[in-house]
Amino acid sequence: MDDHPVRITVDDDLRRSRLTVFFRLLLAIPLLIWLALWSIVALLTAIVGWFAALFTGRLPEGLHKFLAGYVRFTLHVSAYVGMAANPYPGFTGEPGYPVDAVIPAREPQRRWKIALRLLLAIPALVLAGMLGSGAGGAGGTPGDDSKLAWFTNTGVGGVAAACAILGWFVALARGRMPLGLRDLGAYGIGYTAQANAYLLLLTDRYPNANPEALGPTWSLPEHPVLLELADDGRRSRLTVLFRFLLALPHFVWLLLWSIAAFVAVLANWFVALFRGRSAGPLHRFLAAYVRYSAHLDAYVYLVANPFPGFTGAPGYPVDVSIGPAESQSRWVTFFRVFLAIPAFIISTVLNIVLLVVGILGWFAALATGQMPTGIRNLGAVAVRYLAQTNAYVFVLTDHYPFTGPALRAPAEPDMVVAEAAA
């Protein structure tokens, strides 16, 4: 696994104070004002640091410490506003917050990388914008009206922002943040911190979107729909160049299959409502459709390489295993569409993330013949979540889609092969 020097730590017990949750944004106003002022100073400091690093090959010690504090403070504020942590953060960016960043000591950096840092950082900033913190970020400063800066800074439409909004409702009702939403939010915020550290010359290691390389060991609860990843990262440049066009027959086929699937879902819903479990043939038909959609998503967005089959048969390098039909709560079945609304919201955001992964991966794979592992794994997480959402909506399971960014359950490998055993 690729260990990035900028890592995040998550030491949060998921408990939330309902009162501070309710007033979270208002409580954050002083933090946000302070962050805005700090951002202005950080920008000026970064410019000075850029010239200094260009001549000496590393940031001056004082500037490094100042900017590291700024990156940590940004992360703390983002975690607080984004519901990924509970306590009110300090104003100095000191280490020790439940969601924190480990910033490496200053180290020599290649000068050409320093000179081109702003340009090199653009793909990472775009991705950070999508995984968005929902609060601060060094991609821009208040008053900077460039679109990239605005996107990165605000995290509008970002993953962390969506997690924050959904998490706000849950935490208010239950006094706890759901594990998946907390993890995904922390992942988005953590990646943004890596991007900020790279942009601000705290490290010359490029941000790594791989959820497994960010620091924490993300948990993955038992779920009948699991990801099976057997992709080697190699990509054929020719098929990458024409990827979208090559997928056209699949789009046509998916459209036709979707019509049949829609009818099958309605039938399955009625069956599950009366029998308490879905019918075997419908379950198999819809499971094949869910797998096929996952294969196609993986292919189109370059998460996988080979041209997928048209039947949704298992065995694709980025596959989802789906458990057999099981008993389901009739209440959950009856209200399935309404219950799925939060999953639809996360799915929508992850679809956009997949698109960004596809676009960035397209350039990278075309140039190198390889899909970067980081964004490939991020894409795989999105594919897994979309498949879990489909399985939930299609009444294949009543297990809610798990939002966390884990690729696989770390300590329980048997879970991954549960489908094969079944």
Q: Is the dihedral of CA 207, 208, 212, 213 positive or negative?
A: negative
Q: How far apart are CA 27 and CA 125, in angstroms?
A: 28
Piece of the chain touching other proteins by CB under 8 A; list 65-73, 105-113, 261-269, 309-317? 309-317
Piece of the chain touching other proteins by CB under 8 A; list 27-35, 98-106, 301-309, 365-373? 301-309
Q: Determine which residue in the list 23, 51, 112, 242 makes contact with other proteins, applying CB under 8 A.
A: 242
Nearer to other proteins, 91 or 307 (CB): 307
Which DSSP string corresponds to 153-190?
Answer: HH-TT-HHHHHHHHHHHHHHHHSB--HHHHHHHHHHHH
The Cβ-side half-sphere exposure at 66, using a 13 Å CA radius, reads: 16
Q: By CB under 8 A, what part of segment 365-384 binds other proteins? A: none
Pick from 226, 189, 238: which is nearest to 211 by CA?
189
What's the min distance (Å) between Cβ of 1 and other proteins? Answer: 27
What's the min distance (Å) between Cβ of 243 and other proteins? Answer: 10
Q: Determine which residue in the list 315, 369, 410, 413 makes contact with other proteins, applying CB under 8 A.
A: 315
Q: How far apart are CA 214 and CA 374, in angstroms?
A: 10
Kindly state whether residue 317 participates in binding other proteins, applying the rule CB under 8 A.
Answer: yes
> Helices 341-368 and 159-174: crossing angle, nearest 10°?
150
Pick from 128, 118, 78: which is nearest to 98 by CA?
78
The count of chain residues that interact with other proteins, using the rule CB under 8 A, is 21
What's the min distance (Å) between Cβ of 283 and other proteins? Answer: 23
Q: Determine which residue in the list 90, 309, 410, 413 makes contact with other proteins, applying CB under 8 A.
A: 309
Kindly state whether residue 153 participates in binding other proteins, applying the rule CB under 8 A.
Answer: no
Nearer to other proteins, 17 or 239 (CB): 239
Taking residues 243 to 282 in sequence order and writing x for each that binds other proteins by CB under 8 A, - otherwise, the string is --xx-xx--x------------------------------
Piece of the chain touching other proteins by CB under 8 A; list 87-95, 109-117, 151-159, 236-244? 236-244
Q: How far apart are CA 225 and CA 321, in angstroms?
A: 6
The Cβ-side half-sphere exposure at 109, using a 13 Å CA radius, reads: 30
Kindly state whether residue 306 participates in binding other proteins, applying the rule CB under 8 A.
Answer: yes
What's the min distance (Å) between Cβ of 375 and other proteins? Answer: 20
Q: How far apart are CA 391 and CA 286, in angstroms?
A: 8
> Helices 341-368 and 122-130: crossing angle, nearest 10°?
170
Task: Give the binding site for other proteins (CB under 8 A).
Answer: 236, 238-239, 241-242, 245-246, 248-249, 252, 295, 305-311, 315-317
